[in-house]
Chains A and B, each alone.
Chain A
Amino acid sequence: MMNLFRTLFRKELLDASRDKRSVMAGLYYALGTPVLMCLLFSVLLKQLSASDELLISIDNADAAPALVQYLANNDIRQGEGADAKAIRLAVSTDFQQQLQQGRPATVIIDADRADDQLRTAIQRLERELGRYNSEIATLRLMARGIDPQLMQPIDVQMQDQATPDSRGGTFLGIASLSIILTLFYAAMNLAIDTSAGERERNSLTLLLSQPLSSLQLVLAKIAAIACFSMLGLVVILLVSKFAYGMVPWQQLGFNISLNTDFMLFTLLVGLPLALLSASLQVMVSFVAKSFKEAQTYVTMVLLVPVALSMVTTYNIAPEYLQWLPIAAQQQAMIGFLKGSAIAMPQLLVSSLLTLAIFAACSYASSRLLKSEKVVFGL
């Protein structure tokens, strides 16, 4: 039993390792993605920490000199040109008069709220206007001999628990997403080649005519592919370590550093996922009737792990998703990087689920190989 498996496994490894194109196609992802992410993060960080000055156009500024001065003190100024945001603050003509009479004086913010690039700028302008509002209100109350604290029935105090490392949530999400998806992309070409490819090259029928069980054959294939997935994982972890080391994290006050402990942890939680990835892609490739069809189907199926990983990254996953494969493992990786507690029950359940799916896919593939339709691609 074991001898046969070893023979099959060795042949799969040898055959796959000589398929340079497929192996490299998988590794390009592992090599390229961290570099790409590193560039992306650098650009994002630059944008986030860009100069604090906010330039907008202010209509009728002469009518509200105090307000304009207040905004200027907070780096919001009248400005034009490329740096100016498409936000117009219109001061009403009777602004001064209304203010003097203690009646609401109108200012209009004219901007496109749906424009993502303007959103934070608009919020900042609103916040400053709100502060100006309450400052004037406080002065008015004091002038009438009323304690301004009456206007503040609740004193909200925020005690920020965030450690510097935990602030980079989205960055950590994206980084861990790119790492986890390697397990799927590094396996893709090899999985298709060893199943649909083997059938198209007519060696599958010869193999199945030998004294072996189709389950042994399938497991040997899956084990070999999983080895290459894990190789991809090792590569992306090493490249990520260096690439993320070059991102100027300090600008945001946190840091993503992939230490050896994290790498070992990721390899451990990644192993069941590598088996799932290989078994799933082999099964899908066998279901397809040809090599090309397999490529299409596998690409479609890979949207599922991508989706699971995405919702985790952007933290929009409903509670039950956190128990599912990929999502839970990624959550654990993020937790590990943040230095916060890892949700062990979720991780254990999802790892068991991952192995269960691996077992189910392997068994299904071995059943498929007993079907004449599948073996001869009818």
Chain B
Amino acid sequence: MIKVTDLHKKIGQVQALNGLSFAAHNGTITGLLGPNGAGKTTCLRTLFGLLKADSGSAEIDGLNVVSQSRQAKQQLGLFPDPCGLYERLTPREYVQFFAQLNGMAGKDAKDATDEVLSLLKMQDIADRRCQGFSQGQRMKTALAQAIVHKPTNIVLDEPTRGLDVMSTRVLRDLLLMLKQQGHCVLFSSHVMQEVAALCDQVVVIAAGRVVAQGSPAELCLRTGKTNLEDAFISLIGTDEGIAA
């Protein structure tokens, strides 16, 4: 479970987060939806402890990300944007490295790596260096890294960018499987279809604050629109920066 409370963060002259509060629960896929520059990435970076909030707090499974950062981070799997691959390592080495960083011992890390590589159907590229990978292969590698240590909470920053239909389906199935297993899945996106198809809960962000939270159906109902896209536009009051 991920919970952020009244986050404020100013970056340069921009008030990136302005009293942001929401919660994402276990066994649920929560979508962080907002136009470009709404504060999605800033919010996620604060969650990873990369940025320090000016005020407010973020908790992962009840652990404060600042004061109990190491324990909190162990409960967290990250799929960042950009992917942050090591071009000179193979996916197997890369994924195993992150498994070990998250406290898995040699043998366990190796088994977990094998498992996640076959789960994502990556055996054919597992021992090739990441240099020259296609966007889809990069995304899969990053995804494997995020879930290899089986964290309770999985955070994905724009996970569908650049994926072809096949890969998008793999990702979708994977997220649903994680949800079934009781994980808390939080992802940021500005792609309506993705959010509408996957999310149980949608948190709509604009200008650093939550403007609405609820299931896609609830949001449509509340705004009197028939689809999420129209509901979203009506909620944030502009159609700027939204991909169909």
**What's the Cα separation between A207 and B89 when bound, in Å?**
15
Q: Are B101 and A209 closer than 8 Å at their CB atoms?
A: no
- Measured between C-beta atoms, what is the minimum distance from B18 to chain A in Å? 18
Bound Cα distance A46, B64 (Å):
73
How many residue pairs link A and B with beta carbons under 8 A? The number is 75
**How far, in whole Å, are A111 and B71 apart by their CA atoms in the complex?**
80
Can you list, as one digit per residue, whether each of A63-81 has a CB less than 8 Å from chain B (1) or not (0)?
A: 0000000000000000000
**Complex interface: chain A residues within 8 A of B73 (CB):** 209-211
Is the CB of B78 closer than 8 A to any CB of chain A?
yes
Q: Are B88 and A209 in contact (CB under 8 A)?
A: no
A105–B48 alpha-carbon span in the complex (Å): 92
Task: Specify the chain A residue showing the minimal Cβ separation from B78.
Answer: A209
Q: Is the CB of B88 within 8 A of A15?
A: yes
Q: How far is the CB of A365 from chain B (nearest CB, A)?
A: 17
Interface of A is mostly: helix
- Bound CA–CA A202/B84 (angstroms): 5
User: A205 at interface (Cβ–Cβ under 8 A)?
Assistant: yes
Identify which of residues 188-246 in chain A touch chain B, using a CB-to-CB cut-off of 8 Å.
Answer: 201-213
B214 at the interface (CB under 8 A from A): no
A126: chain B residues at CB < 8 Å are none
Residues of chain A within 8 A of B78, CB atoms compared: 206, 209
Docked-complex contact A375 and B50, CB < 8 angstroms: yes
Which secondary structure characterizes the binding site on chain B?
A: loop
Interface 1/0 per residue, B18-57 and A, CB below 8 Å: 0000000000000000000000000001001111100000
| Contact across chains for A206 and B93 when beta carbons are under 8 A apart | no
A52 to B73, CA, bound (A): 78
A206 vs B146: C-alpha distance when bound (angstroms): 10
Judged by a CB distance under 8 angstroms, whether B170 is at the interface is no
Within 8 A of B (CB), among A1-25: 3-4, 7-8, 11, 14-15, 18-19
Contacts of A18 in B (CB 8 A): 88-89, 129
Nearest A residue (CB) for B142: A206
Is A372 located at the chain interface by the 8 A CB criterion? yes
CB-based nearest B residue for A11: B97
A210 and B98 contact, CB distance less than 8 A: yes
Which residues of chain A come closer than 8 Å to B49, judged between CB atoms?
A: 208-209
Question: Could you say which residues of chain A place their CB within 8 Å of the CB of B102?
Answer: 210-211
Judge whether A202 and B80 touch: CB under 8 Å: yes
Q: With A and B bound together, what is the CA distance between A203 and B142 in angstroms?
A: 11
A300-334 Cβ-contact flags toward B at 8 Å (1 or 0): 00000000000000000000000000000000000
Q: Do the beta carbons of B88 and A205 come within 8 Å of each other?
A: no
Interface residues of B, count at CB 8 A: 32
Contact B89 A15 (CB under 8 A): yes
CA distance A11 to B86 in the complex (A): 10
Q: Is B87 an interface residue (CB 8 A)?
A: yes
Known: A203-B86, A205-B84, A209-B80. A372 touches B52 (CB 8 A): yes
Give the docked Cα–Cα distance between A209 and B153 (Å): 14
Q: How far is the CA of A130 from the CA of B71 in the complex (A)?
A: 86
B137 in the interface, Cβ–Cβ < 8 Å? no
Q: Residue-by-residue, is B80-109 near A (CB-CB < 8 Å gives 1, otherwise 0)?
A: 101111111100010001101111010000
Given contacts A202-B82, A372-B50, contact A19 B100 (CB under 8 A): no
Contacting residue for B101 out of A15, A203, A212, A376, CB 8 A: A212
Q: Which residues of B contact A208 (CB under 8 A)?
A: 48-50
Residue of A nearest to B51 (CB): A372
Question: Which residues from A are CB-within-8-Å of B69?
Answer: 211
Which residue from B70, B71, B74, B85 sits with its C-beta under 8 Å from A203? B85
Contacts of A213 in B (CB 8 A): 70
| Complex contacts, A4 vs chain B, CB 8 Å | 100-101
A203 to B76, CA, bound (A): 17
Measured between beta carbons, the chain B residues less than 8 angstroms from A212 are 70, 101
**Nearest CB of chain B from residue A138's CB, rounded to whole Å:** 80
Assembled-state Cα–Cα distance A88/B71 (Å): 86
Query: A171 vs B69: C-alpha distance in the bound complex, in angstroms?
Result: 56
Closest CB in chain B relative to A20 CB, distance in Å: 9
Q: Which residue of B lies closest to A216 (CB)?
A: B101
A14 touches B84 (CB 8 A): no
- When chains A and B are docked, how far (Å) is the Cα of A95 from the Cα of B99? 95
CB proximity of A63 to chain B, nearest CB, Å: 80
B85: chain A residues at CB < 8 Å are: 201, 203
- For A6, give the chain B residue with the smallest CB separation: B100
| A166 CA / B242 CA spacing, docked (Å) | 78
Contacts of B101 in A (CB 8 A): 4, 7-8, 207, 210-212
> What are the residues of chain A within 8 A of B84 when measuring CB–CB?
201-207
| B148 smallest CB distance to A (angstroms) | 12
Known: A15-B88, A19-B88, A205-B84. A211 touches B103 (CB 8 A): yes
By the criterion CB–CB under 8 Å, are A211 and B52 in contact?
no
A18, A204, A206 — which one has the most chain B CB atoms within 10 A of its CB? A206
Closest 9 CB pairs of A and B: A206-B84, A209-B48, A203-B84, A18-B88, A211-B73, A7-B100, A202-B82, A211-B70, A202-B84
Q: Can you give 24 contacting A-B residue pairs, CB < 8 Å? A: A3-B105, A4-B101, A7-B97, A8-B101, A11-B97, A14-B89, A18-B129, A201-B87, A202-B80, A203-B85, A203-B86, A205-B45, A205-B80, A207-B84, A208-B50, A209-B76, A209-B78, A210-B102, A211-B74, A211-B102, A211-B103, A372-B52, A375-B50, A376-B50
Chain A residues with a Cβ under 8 A of chain B? 3-4, 7-8, 11, 14-15, 18-19, 201-213, 372, 375-376
A3-B105, A15-B89, A205-B48 are known contacts; what are 19 more A-B pairs with Cβ within 8 Å? A4-B101, A7-B97, A7-B100, A8-B101, A11-B86, A14-B93, A18-B89, A18-B129, A201-B84, A201-B86, A201-B87, A202-B84, A204-B84, A205-B50, A205-B84, A208-B50, A209-B73, A210-B102, A375-B50
